[in-house]
Amino acid sequence: MKIEYSLQFLADKTGGTLLGEAGKKIQGVGPLEAAQEHEITFAGGGRYLKKIKDSRAGAIFVPMEVEVSGKNLIQVKNPQLAFAKVVELFHPFPLPSPGISDKAVVGSDLRAGDDISVGPFTTLGDRVCIGNGSILHSNVFIGDDVTIGDHSIVYPNVTVMGGTLIGNRVIIQSGTVIGSDGYGYVADQGRHHKIPQIGIVQIDDDVEIGSCNAIDRATFGRTWIQRGVKTDNLVHIAHNVVVGEDSLIVAQVGIAGSTQIGHHTILAGQAGISGHLSIGNQVIIGPMTGVGKSIPDGEIVSSGTNAMPHRTWLRVQRVIPRLPELQKKVAELQKKIASLEKMTENR
């Protein structure tokens, strides 16, 4: 059966103001340049607003102040957010049937909420607690004493080691490992002896963890991912790290042990954060940036090297080791210039 909604329904659903045909039926969604007469799209601002007149879309979400004659528009505060809500209407999230597969391995004393789903070849350890409506797909490993809250989703091939605490509405993408040992060793007579890692990982509500993340358990206490954090794929978070609420961590970021990340902070791709640092609230760290000292609230830092012709880069590489020597020479020249300027003033 074809799904369709009236424009007035979509405006009401997204809290928008409709300019156009209230009864017009919309049957799908599409991008601004390709959406057809039966589809809805959005134009968030800038150059996209200039394309509205050429769009064939049946309706367009636009910012509150935008009006275009002859077009069906829904004015909203955030066009992209409104569009995302409508995409969910036309493409509802597929839910597996509730129940525990007879091919799953279930340990003792499972505490299961209502309407949970556990896929085939998933392993649940002893004393696992799973909240209402949570979904564990196939080939998931959940260790002993793990708690997972309500309406969380764990995708295939995820490993959650013992003692981990996971909140409500958490999404964990495929291939991620949570609660593996932190990287801790003590040297003695040239050998490295493992330090037992006896802490846990705590993941709060509304967190999304990307594919192939590694989040290490604490040496003592907890590694703590706070509410609303979103991580991209291929992120490593070491033992005893704290990531503040609503922070964004982009692909291939590495955070060393015992570092504290403030709330609403953004770590761009391939940023590397050293251990035992404090990164403030609402900090932005640019791509490929190495951070070796603490950063106060609100700072924007970057150090990634821009692309340049290879021959130029080879020349730059020859200069970099000489920078301390060049700095010293520049300081000496500055002193000589200052001395000459004094002599000139005294004449």
* Residue 51 CB neighbours (<10 A): 13
Tokens of 289: 């940036």
What is the Cα–Cα distance from 18 to 72, expressed in whole angstroms?
8
Asked if residue 107 lies in contact with residue 122, where contact means CB atoms within 8 angstroms, the answer is: no
Distance separating alpha carbons of residues 263 and 280, to the nearest angstrom = 8
CA gap 36, 39 in Å, rounded = 5
Amino acid at 102: D
Cα 101 to Cα 106, 107, 146, 164, 333, distances in angstroms: 10, 14, 19, 23, 77
> Which of these is catalytic: 192, 239, 264, 276?
239
Distances, alpha carbon 214 to alpha carbons 156, 186, 230, 254, 256, in Å: 15, 22, 14, 10, 12
Residue 239 annotated as catalytic = yes
What residues are annotated to the active site? 239
